[in-house]
Homo-oligomer: A and B are copies of this chain.
Amino acid sequence: MAQRARPRLVDVAQAAGVSIAAASRALSGAAGVSEEIAQRVREVAAELGYVANVHARTLAGGTSTGVGLLVHEIGDPYFTEIASGVLRVAAQRGLTVQIGHTGRDPDAELLQVRSLIANRVRAIVISGSGFVEARVQAPVKRELQDFQAAGGRVAVIGRHHLGTDAVLPDNLAGGRSITEHVLSLGHRRIAFAAGPVALTTVADRLAGAEEALRAAGSRLAELPVIEEAFTRDGGTRATLRILDEHPRTTAVIALNDDMAIGALAALRSRGVAVPREMSVAGFDDVAVAEHLSPALTTVRLPMTGMGEQALLLALKEPSVRPRRRTTGHRLVVRDSTAAPRSS
């Protein structure tokens, strides 16, 4: 345990025989030093293995190089891809990213936001659905507002109602597209494997489905919408319930790919052939969707791009009114959907 302390700026300055101010300027690339001194300081610093203390720098300079990223759960492929986009932009801007799980729990989210604020990050990106009910996220909203009032920047992905810049996935139109697709194949006894309708993402996708259904002379209220967790396991449970409670169903529309994967597992376990006996559709087009068994029909959302966009938005100068960027979507028809068996 040498506990040998790391060299500080003074050490570098001393070793280079210049003032600490000169050393600071040389290392941070600021103007006002002769190239000669700058050169020498850099060499000495490298020799000593000097690495500036970010905390001291941030405290003195007032500007942080950190950004925050909050996801529901990094293991969920939807968030994984978003995170990947955020990391890419951050790296290329020389920013550092602090990441945290929210678990779709408003309390955990509040804690994480506080932690980011405590770290004085320059910008916060929050991804993942919010709640239809504005009240549950009021504390976070207030915290974010204060953060912004103090000069912080915020961008959210897939949320409204937070009064911040936002990247909005095409949930409504996507919900319409996938439902139209299933209807066009001839399905009428459709069931939805949904996450909690309290989530805006779920609500929006269902709203899109409703539009498609009405156009076809049907209504969402006439069909089973099974609410379970917005996860793989939730998809499995929802599908098992559909099989048991609505045995004549010919198509399951899962409200995200993760649920669709769970749905496929449930159908396999019950020996139901997809798409011959049951069609399955997902939403998001996560990277593995095309490699599933069978390859999943779904709606593609540009997740990585959404992550990039969000951080880029958050890094821009704030505008008077919150900005909104809506993404496109694309229906991707693969092998998991087909016409119902003529019964």
Contacts and interface: CB of A to CB of B under 8 A. Distances in A.
B91 A84 contact: no
Contacts of A294: 293
A327 interface: no
A54 interface: yes
A291 B318 contact: no
B54 A118 contact: yes
A282 to B, nearest CB: 12
Interface of A: 1-6, 49, 51-56, 58-59, 64, 66, 73-75, 77, 80-81, 83-84, 87-88, 91, 96-101, 108, 114-115, 117-120, 142-143, 146, 149-151, 232, 261, 264-265, 287-288, 290-295, 304, 318
B120 A54 contact: yes
Given A75-B84, A293-B293, A97 B100 contact: yes
Nearest to A94: B115
The quantity of this chain's copies bound in the complex is 2
A170 B64 CA distance: 41
Contact of A291 (B5, B58, B101, B265): B265
A81 B87 contact: no
A132 B288 CA distance: 31
Given A4-B149, A55-B64, 19 more contacts: A1-B318, A3-B149, A3-B150, A6-B146, A49-B142, A52-B118, A53-B120, A54-B120, A55-B58, A56-B59, A88-B101, A96-B98, A97-B100, A98-B99, A265-B291, A288-B292, A292-B292, A293-B293, A293-B294
A123 to B, nearest CB: 15
23 contacts: A3-B150, A3-B151, A49-B146, A51-B114, A52-B118, A53-B59, A54-B55, A54-B119, A54-B120, A55-B56, A55-B120, A59-B59, A74-B83, A74-B87, A75-B84, A75-B287, A96-B98, A96-B115, A97-B100, A99-B99, A261-B288, A292-B293, A293-B294
